[in-house]
Amino acid sequence: MIPRYLVDVDLDAIPHVHTDVIVIGAGIAGLFTSLRASENKKVLMITKKSLLDSNTRYAQGGIAAVISDEDSPEYHMQDTLVAGAGLCSPEAVDVLVHEGFSGVQDLIRMGTQFDLENGEFALTKEGAHSQRRILHAHGDATGAEIVRALSERTKQDPNIEIWDDHFVIDLITQDDICYGALVQKPDGQRVFVRGNATILCAGGAGQLFRYTTNPDIATADGIAIAHRAGAHIQDVEFIQFHPTALCYPGAPRFLISEAVRGEGAYLRNIKGERFMENYHPQLELAPRDVVARAIVDEMENCKSTFVYIDITHETEELIKHRFPTIYEYCLNYGLDMTTDWIPVAPAAHYMMGGVKTDLHGETDVKRLFACGEVSSTGVHGANRLASNSLSEAIVFGRRIIERIKELPALEGSPELRTDSPRIESPQQAVVEKKLKLQKVMLRYAGLKRSAKGLQKGYEELARQLSIFDTQMSKREDYEFANLLSCALLTTTAALQREESRGGHYREDFPERDDLHWKKHIVFKRGEDRVEEWI
């Protein structure tokens, strides 16, 4: 049983801090919403590491927006809906495609420098996009450039206070109203941070899996704390595995951007054969879920642990100019993109679902908002269209701040004191528990799933529920508890969805079933699963 709070709480016995807006997380969503909110509000930004530690910093490909005369919001919307496999919210996608470029202009005003060609934005094309609409920076370092620009402004903003190395344990709620958060400081002291509005920008859940392109901070914290607080959690069975992560002895699973295929790279099996023509008419530019499963099929057929991505037919000048970060990274391991085929394999990359919000980023817990990967706005459906995530963060971040401007002052104070019987922490190291969880998820809830495997995986995960009966005091304990919470939600939803769609593939139900499953699976703590039809 997952408790309402991870630790015992007595609000009267701990320090209180007051602010207008609490922002939890430091990726593009956290930085952007903090800067927009600070125009007329006091903001407290809480990060569990630093402003430079987030998934955004590792985003290579770029940000999608309608810019060129050949493109249109209608084209962008159609591409997004097709990739989303029938589960996108048309209203949310309409917002994204019409407000995306305006959000990009905000980023530029905040100091982001996108690549130019002949004085115009240099646009590229990625998988499942019908037009060139991807802006990028420094070739393949778009996320790093956005984080650089926004973090510099954030540190200089007098209305933003930054708490690095602080961990949000739980949200404090009463009568379905969010009053703020219980936060643990680096010295172990706990404090109640009260805010007129709280924005979850806590990122994704890539650390659910053994192999991931995500940094070690992506431990599903936002989804788990929102779930404990009573917010709806939607579509968490849909996990996007990036098709091409570096797979080389001694090297981490480093992302080889989709833009490499967008610029003409081929996929080859270990026999050297191109194979995507056997799987999809768009070849290497097929939707990510299709490409990822095709790679796994080729690996299984050839009894290999990788395939190759080959861009050696392009010029050395283009490769080094367009992909300087990837080129230098591979070179560190003795791989030269200009002459070598690069070994790659799929790795967990992005969760399409998350904390359910409306079109202004608000959850069903009043005064609690969610933005970025932690949220489920309805934009991504069952499969995210490449480079839509950065656009989503700024578009819905702007909408969140507009909604917060309308909020009256928060009245009253929550009365909270819990004293649950909890035992000492288990002797088994949390790192061992985390590794076991990741292996279970990779084996039973990865790219290919079945009822038998998912049931077995759920049962193995459920044996770890005793963690919630222990006294927790360390960040590692909280992170594992959050990962376990999200893993149980993900396996439950995947077991219940008896079809294949987008980032969810069932070997025992390999076909898409719109008649029975064109709907969301939504969870709320203390209630049975809710199904919401499209």
Compute and round to an integer the Cα radius of gyration of the chain. 22
324, 140 Cβ separation under 8 angstroms: yes
502 three-state secondary structure: coil
Residue 77 to residue 412: CA distance in whole angstroms:
43
CB atoms within 10 A of CB 155: 10
Helices (H) and strands (E) in the chain, counts: 14, 21
Residue 371 to residue 204: CA distance in whole angstroms:
11
498 three-state secondary structure: coil
Q: Tokens at residue 188, please?
A: 């172990």
User: What amino acid positions are annotated as catalytic residues?
Assistant: 288
Residue 376 to residue 57: CA distance in whole angstroms:
21
Tell the burial category of 70 from Cβ atoms under 10 Å away from its Cβ (0-12, 13-18, 19+).
exposed
Q: Quick one: the chain helix, strand, coil %, rounded to 5? A: 35, 20, 45
Q: Which residues pair with 160 in a beta bridge?
A: 43
What angle separates helix 451-462 from helix 475-496, to the nearest 10 degrees? 150
306 three-state secondary structure: coil
Residue 367 gets which letter from DSSP? Answer: T
Q: Tokens at residue 391, please?
A: 């656009």
Torsion of CA 410, 411, 412, 413, to 10 degrees: 20
